[in-house]
């Protein structure tokens, strides 16, 4: 019995080495890319609960700042050089414009037996000629209607399985892409 | 690790506030559980648990109280709802600490994910078959678990798991009894398949009759194959 446990533990350590390393980790201010860090000092109103994170997704590395501004939860992502990748704001389902919501729900209804939304975000990608810092301030001051995509994390059920997936939709509600994401198991809390 | 200090303070505070009670029993409970998802909707869980006194004879020490083994079959009803049936065997004869029991459990669990927080409601009915009587026990537990680093629990990261539970026991022989349990555990996702947890549970037993207080030091390994 004793040896079995040791073998099990050893085996799970081996498995750990094989899994894809996708990780979000909180970091101190000074580890955040310098140019991007400075963007958050000259906003009109101070940012609430500003936190910095490093994200590793396979081989890709990026940095993320999360904060609250005008009662909205923001997450702003940069590459390793401090270039803006996107801005995301957490919203509720009722905040999705009716036309887009209809397209999105039609997509879920036709592709899955069941679904439930876990997290909905509006995504803003800088397609304008504005510099990153101008774009961030432009969105912070009035984000309404400027989003380019919706990002939805949903738990879905299809014939094969149940899983969590991250979906990206265009602002019109048209499906763009999706990828599975891992969710932590609940066995530790069930019994 | 930034959460380590506040957590330590909380735990200390918890210990101090509890040790203020008289007749406090200090207990330890260690378990290992293995679960396996057999099909899309069905999973099995086997666990072994050991419980021991940490202050026998009113001084710090160790004395084994019992060994438990149990099995749970869980049926996934839909995304958030689970129905589980369990069978449980407890042995106290080996350690001369009383009589053992066989227990049947039916439980229903509902969980809801809100951003990084996961809330769980668990309702349980138990039939505890002892040598001299059968106790019917109903339980409700509210639990929250969330990662301590970022929004998602990744390998190598810690998480916190807290729960509040109310219990109501009755049998033909005894007056109905109410218990309350408060639990806080910190855990680590060591690998994709292994979680390690440790924490404290405070149990207030039979507070409507003659209250008994006990504090449990919990340690567990949770394997998913």
Whether the predicted pLDDT of A84 surpasses 60: yes
Best probe of the A interface among B114, B118, B119, B192, by most A CBs < 10 A, is B192
| DSSP output for B137-196 | EEEEEEEEEEESSSSS--TT-EEEEEEEEEEEEE-SSS--EEEEEEEEEEEEE-SSSEEE
3-state secondary structure of A159: coil
CA dihedral B178, B166, B86, B76 (to 10 degrees): 150
Q: Indicate yes or no: CB of A188 within 8 angstroms of CB of B118.
A: no
Which has the closest alpha carbon to A162: B38, B143, B80? B80
Q: What are phi and psi of B100, to 5 degrees?
A: -80, -170
The average pLDDT across A93-116 equals 93
The average pLDDT across A21-39 equals 85
Distance CA B67, CA B6 (A): 34
Integer-rounded Cα Rg, in Å, for chain A is: 20
Q: In whole angstroms, how far apart are CA B81 and each of A154, A190, B37, B141, B145?
A: 16, 11, 16, 15, 17
- pLDDT tens readout for residues B207-221: 999 999 999 999 999
Whether the predicted pLDDT of B20 surpasses 80: no
Q: Indicate yes or no: CB of B143 within 8 angstroms of CB of A189.
A: yes
The average pLDDT across A117-139 equals 91
The average pLDDT across B125-153 equals 93
Q: Indicate yes or no: CB of B150 within 8 angstroms of CB of A25.
A: yes
Distance CA A52, CA B44 (A): 40
For all residues of chain B together, what is the average pLDDT? 90
Query: Model ipTM?
Result: 0.77
Q: Indicate yes or no: CB of B155 within 8 angstroms of CB of A189.
A: no
Contact partners, residue B192, CB within 8 Å, separation at least 6:
A12, A15, A16, A19, B155, B224
Q: What CATH class is the domain A21-190?
A: alpha beta
Confidence of residue A5 (pLDDT cuts 50, 70, 90): low
Q: Which of A12, A23, A183 sits opposite B223 (nearest CB)?
A: A12
3-state secondary structure of B35: strand
Q: How far is B220 from chain A (nearest CA, A)?
A: 9
Q: Which residue has the higher pLDDT, A124 or A19?
A: A124
Whether the predicted pLDDT of B193 surpasses 80: yes
A175 CB-side CA count, 13 A = 15
Distance CA A56, CA A25 (A): 8
Report yes or no: B140 and A168 within 8 Å, Cβ to Cβ.
no
CA dihedral A22, A28, A30, A33 (to 10 degrees): 30
The average pLDDT across B150-156 equals 82
pLDDT at A9: 53
Sketch the domain layout of chain A as residue ranges: 21-190
Report yes or no: A151 and A170 within 8 Å, Cβ to Cβ.
no
pLDDT at B97: 92
Is CATH 2.60.40 the right assignment for the domain spanning B4-224?
A: no
Per 3-state DSSP, chain A is made up of helix, strand and coil in percentages (nearest 5) of: 30, 40, 30
The average pLDDT across A154-168 equals 83
Q: Indicate yes or no: CB of A191 within 8 angstroms of CB of B187.
A: no
pLDDT at A3: 58
pLDDT at A15: 44
For all residues of chain A together, what is the average pLDDT? 85
Distance CA B197, CA B186 (A): 6
- pLDDT tens readout for residues B97-121: 999 999 999 999 999 888 789 999 9
Whether the predicted pLDDT of A1 surpasses 70: no
pLDDT at A2: 54
Q: Indicate yes or no: CB of B115 within 8 angstroms of CB of A119.
A: yes
Q: Which residue has the higher pLDDT, A78 or A146?
A: A78
pLDDT at A17: 39
The average pLDDT across A146-162 equals 85
pLDDT at A10: 53
Distance CA B117, CA B113 (A): 6
Whether the predicted pLDDT of B8 surpasses 90: no
Identify the contact set of chain A against chain B, taking CB-CB distances under 8 A: 5, 8-9, 12-13, 15-16, 19, 21-26, 53, 90, 114, 116, 118-119, 155, 157, 160-162, 181-191
């Amino acid at each position: 019995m004793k040896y079995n446990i040791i073998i099990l533990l050893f085996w799970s350590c081996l498995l750990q080495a094989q899994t894809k390393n996708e990780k979000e980790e909180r970091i101190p201010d000074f580890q955040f890319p310098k140019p991007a860090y400075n963007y958050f000092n000259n906003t009109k109103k101070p940012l609430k609960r500003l936190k910095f994170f490093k994200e590793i997704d396979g081989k890709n590395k990026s940095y993320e700042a999360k904060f609250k501004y005008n009662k909205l939860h923001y997450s702003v992502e940069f590459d390793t050089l401090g270039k803006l990748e996107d801005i995301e704001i957490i919203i509720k389902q009722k905040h999705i414009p009716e036309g887009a919501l209809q397209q999105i729900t039609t997509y879920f209804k036709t592709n899955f037996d069941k679904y439930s939304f876990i997290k909905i975000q509006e995504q803003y990608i800088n397609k304008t000629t504005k510099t990153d810092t101008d774009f961030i301030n432009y969105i912070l001051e009035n984000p309404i209607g400027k989003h380019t995509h919706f990002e939805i994390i949903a738990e879905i059920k299809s014939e094969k399985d149940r899983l969590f997936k991250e979906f990206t939709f265009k602002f019109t509600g048209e499906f763009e892409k999706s990828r599975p994401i891992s969710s932590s198991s609940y066995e530790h809390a069930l019994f | 690790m930034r959460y380590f200090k506040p957590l330590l303070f909380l735990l200390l505070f918890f210990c101090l506030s509890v040790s203020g009670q008289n007749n406090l029993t200090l207990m330890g409970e260690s378990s290992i559980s293995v679960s396996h998802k057999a099909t899309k909707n069905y999973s099995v869980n086997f666990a072994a648990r050991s419980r021991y006194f940490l202050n026998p004879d009113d001084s710090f020490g160790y004395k084994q109280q019992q060994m438990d083994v149990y099995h749970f079959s869980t049926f996934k009803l839909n995304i958030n709802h689970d129905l589980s049936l369990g069978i449980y065997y407890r042995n106290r004869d080996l350690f001369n600490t009383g009589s053992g029991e066989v227990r049947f459990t039916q439980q229903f669990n509902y969980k809801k994910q809100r951003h990084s927080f996961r809330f769980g409601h668990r309702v349980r009915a138990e039939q505890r078959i002892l040598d001299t009587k059968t106790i019917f026990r109903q339980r409700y537990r509210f639990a929250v678990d969330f990662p301590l680093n970022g929004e998602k629990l990744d390998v190598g990261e810690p998480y916190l798991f807290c729960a509040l539970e109310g219990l109501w026991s009755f049998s033909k022989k005894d007056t109905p009894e109410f218990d309350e349990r408060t639990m806080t555990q910190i855990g680590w996702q060591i690998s994709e398949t292994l979680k390690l947890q440790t924490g404290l549970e405070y149990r207030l037993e039979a507070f409507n009759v003659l209250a008994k207080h006990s504090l449990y030091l919990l340690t567990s390994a949770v394997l998913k194959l």
